[in-house]
Amino acid sequence: MYIETERLIIRDLQIEDELAYITMASDGSLNDCGFDKDCGKWIFHWITEARKLAYLDNPLKEFLAYTVCLKNENIVIGSVGCSYYEDLYETGITYFIGSQYRNKGYATEAVQAYVNYFLSHYDVPRLIATVRDENISSWKVVERIGFVLTEKRMYKDLNDDKEEFYHFYELKKE
C-alpha cells in the first residue's frame, strides 16, 4: 500500500523501520499503543506479522499497519492502520505519531488519508475509533476527520490491563 499526502507518505512496513519504532517507544509515549520501552524484544516479529497481514489485505482479520513518513525527509514518524475488534465485531482506526512529531497536524493528515483509502478500498460499512478519555489529542484527531461520538463508557480493550473510560466513535461510509 502506498498513499501520498501533501507532507506524508504512508507505505507498507519495512524491516528497516524497526529502529525508528524502537526509538519512538523509548520515551514511554507509545505505551498506550502497546509499544513499550521493551518493544525492541518483539518489534521484528510484529513487523514480520504486519507485513504478512498487509499481503492478505483483510481488515476483518487481526490488524493492518503501515508506516507514516515525512515525505521530504523520508523519516519514519509513526504508524496508521486498523485493527479488528473481536469483542465488538468492528474494525477500528489505529495510529500513533512519535512524540517529537506531535502537534504539527501529522496525525490528522495520516488518519484522514488512511480513512479515505479504507472506505473506498474495503467493503466495510463503517470504521470505529475507541479512544481513552484522557487522550484528548486523539479524540480531537478523529473528530476533525468526521468521526461521530456514539457513546462514552467503561471498556477493557483486549490489550488493556484494566477497564477504563473510553470514547467510542464511528464514521459511516457514505
- The per-residue pLDDT for range 97-154, each reduced to its tens digit, is 999 999 999 999 999 999 999 999 999 999 999 999 999 999 999 999 999 999 999 9
Averaged pLDDT for residues 151-171: 90
How many residues in total does the chain contain? 174
Half-sphere exposure of 129 (CA within 13 A, CB side): 29
Q: Which of 132, 127, 128 is closest to 159 using CA atoms?
A: 132
CA atoms within 13 A on the CB side of 65: 23
Residue with cell 456514539: 150
End-to-end CA gap in the chain: 23
Whether the model pTM is above 0.85: yes
Q: Do 59 and 82 contact (CB within 8 A), yes or no?
A: yes
Of the candidates 133, 144, 150, 72, the residue with the CA atom closest to the CA atom of residue 107: 144
Rounded mean pLDDT of 54-76?
Answer: 95
The pLDDT, as a whole number, for residue 42 is: 87
**What local confidence, expressed as pLDDT, does residue 160 receive?**
75
pLDDT given for residue 155 in this prediction = 95
**What's residue 157's pLDDT?**
80
